[in-house]
Structure 1
Amino acid sequence: MSETQVSDLKLYDYFPYRNRPRIAWPGGARIAVWVAPNIEFYEFDPPNNPKRKPWARPHPDVLAYSHRDYGNRAGWQRMMRAMDETGFRGSVSLNVAMCDHHPEIIKACADRGWEFFSHGIYNTRYVYGMTREEERGIVVDSRETIKKWTGQSMDGWLSPALSNNPWSLDVLAEEGVRYTCDLFHDDQPTPVHVSSGRLISVPYSLEMNDTIVYNVNLFTPRHYGEIIKRQFDQLYAEGAQSGTVMCIPLHPYLVGQPHRIDAFAEALAYIAGHEGVWLATGREIAQHYYDHHYDTVAQAIAAVQ
């Protein structure tokens, strides 16, 4: 095996779900549910990345570009209305260039007290092939931009288009990011291995992600609503023993389509109608975990390794 090949990045420890210290959410809630709208900007003609092309069709891909642009013109308003009506605040997975392109959307989210974490600068610029310091520059730019436009700290990170390098999580911890959404391995927060500082993974789901549901699995809106309910029901039941986390990642150009929004809104109302549900943000989940559970879980993991 060459020096550049790694069979296991050892990003986290194996620690079976049922043998962990109990997690208790505020107010005795069984489950923390957070909604993560991806507020994104896709460039029409982005710089070339040798490892991945941004568009599937030949340039100019007017079809794909304009379809995604729908979310920033019409879809986000329907999505936001459905969340407002059911009491959900968003944790915005933000391409920070949106602050320059569409500040009115940023203001609408900020006025509602939504959290902002970073999803890179543009969703058409990947970190594949970047040096450690080039990647750090994106993290710093994102942190400064979010602070400038919203006054918030940048506590979370989802890499643009889920692109990563072996050192990505180390850079996040070094730059003061508190949680990552780039790992899809669990239904509870977990400590992540980093070279310095602390970082946790807050569950972010591909299975509940409307991109996977609609663009990959080709499910109907009604079926998406049922998926959300089934995911909630199972995690809600398990949360009676130890608190669980459910994330609903969204893209306004998909969930915000007129024929899809009602099924989504109905699923949110279903969740909000239950007792013992913490309608949280990613930042709130991370903070509570750090304050009440990180040390206990880290010690339990160390004892069995």
Structure 2
Amino acid sequence: MLPTHGRYDYAPWQGRTPYAWPGGAALAVYLGVNLEHFAFGEGLGAELAPGGPQPDVLNFAWRDYGNRVGAWRLLALLDELRLPATVLVNSAMYDYAPQLLAAHRARGDEIAGHGRTNSERQSILPEAEEAALIAESSAAIRKHEGIAPAGWLSPWIAESRVTPDLLAEAGYRYSMNWCADDAPVWMTTRAGKLLAMPYPQEVNDIPSVVGRKDGAADFADMILDDFHERLAQVADGLPQVMGIALHPYIIGQPHRMRHLRRALTEIAAHRDQVWITTAGGIFEHVAALPPGVVPGSEWAT
């Protein structure tokens, strides 16, 4: 027997119980906007070009462009198209760029936890230190937003063996770390159930643009191909979740924004066919479904 995580059982796509999203839609679409802050001269960070010795000014400034400029361009596009967002927040952003968080708060976007900073991984920490990281990040969100976050995405999607347990113990209701499905699945933890929310590792500007070196038009085409293929697939009655992961220091560059506008405009034009929502909205809907409908709900407690 291979080692296993023990968080969920195998549930084949075929044979699942059909259910609908609000309005009878079969496809739910959400935008995951990552707002991240990085340490200067140390720690982790995506690279535009191979970094030199620290301080790596080139890559630090490129990432900081997203908070200073790119995120504001993205906000304007979301307003233009009347699109909600789930904002994945490094809690360090509240001290660094409070105006940006206030702008998302003003438009009613969902705020989800995304650690303290993407300069670190929580997976290498002892359990007590990882729990403290989750608590610190969560407390900052609760302080500024007036409500505890329901969802979590680890920086670098890094988990220890006990991360789902710690998240459930901290009051989180869903995690975006497990990208193993196209629909939500209940996971088991030592503190009860936790929903695995689909989060894209393909329709995501970091692996696409930074990892595979896709062009702006290629990434927009990927978004639209994913969207239209899913629209065709959901005719089988099985609901799907399509996430689009965006990082303002990447997608907020003008040449990429032009193509993102093309893709999101087309998706917004189908809002009568699909449910354009937030990850939190998807969680609330799934949590209200009867036991046995969503995989894992029959045994996760």
| TM bracket (short chain) | over 0.9
- Is the CA contact 1:157–1:179 (under 8 Å) kept in the aligned structure 2? yes
TM-score scaled by length of structure 2: 0.92
**1:291 corresponds to which of 284, 288, 293:** 288
**Which piece of structure 1 moves more, 83-92 or 251-260?**
83-92
Aligned partner of 1:41 in structure 2 is 37
Q: Does 1:258 align with 2:276?
A: no
| 1:89 partner SS | coil
**1:187 corresponds to which of 171, 174, 182:** 182
Q: CA deviation at 1:238?
A: 2.2
CA distance in 2 between counterparts of 1:113 and 1:38 reads 16
**2:148 corresponds to which of 141, 147, 153:** 153
Aligned partner of 2:89 in structure 1 is 94
Deviations 1:30-88 (A, max 9, x none): 21100011000011134x6xxx7887532111111011000011101111112212221
Q: CA deviation at 1:162?
A: 1.5
CA distance in 2 between counterparts of 1:180 and 1:97 reads 20
| 1:17 partner SS | coil
When residues 229 and 28 of structure 1 are mapped into structure 2, their CA distance, relative to the original with a 3 A threshold, is same
Aligned partner of 1:279 in structure 2 is 276
Aligned partner of 2:66 in structure 1 is 71
- Is the CA contact 2:185–2:296 (under 8 Å) kept in the aligned structure 1? no
Q: Which amino acid aligns with 1:179?
A: Y
Aligned partner of 1:22 in structure 2 is 18
Q: CA deviation at 1:8?
A: 2.2
- Is the CA contact 2:45–2:118 (under 8 Å) kept in the aligned structure 1? no
Q: Which runs of 5+ in 2 are unaligned?
A: none
**1:239 corresponds to which of 214, 217, 234:** 234
Aligned partner of 1:219 in structure 2 is 214
CA distance in 2 between counterparts of 1:57 and 1:166 reads 33
Total equivalences in the alignment: 294
- Is the CA contact 2:7–2:188 (under 8 Å) kept in the aligned structure 1? yes
CA distance in 2 between counterparts of 1:299 and 1:71 reads 38
- What do you get for the CA RMSD once the two structures are aligned? 2.0
When residues 299 and 251 of structure 1 are mapped into structure 2, their CA distance, relative to the original with a 3 A threshold, is closer
**Which piece of structure 1 moves more, 101-110 or 10-19?**
10-19
TM-score scaled by length of structure 1: 0.91
Q: Which amino acid aligns with 1:62?
A: V
Q: Which amino acid aligns with 1:32?
A: A
CA distance in 2 between counterparts of 1:293 and 1:215 reads 41
- Where do 1:59-208 residues align within 5 Å? 59-208=54-203
Aligned partner of 1:267 in structure 2 is 263
Q: Which runs of 5+ in 1 are unaligned?
A: none
CA distance in 1 between counterparts of 2:140 and 2:60 reads 24
CA distance in 2 between counterparts of 1:13 and 1:161 reads 25
CA distance in 2 between counterparts of 1:89 and 1:149 reads 19
What is the identity percentage for the equivalent residue pairs of Structure 1 and Structure 2?
34
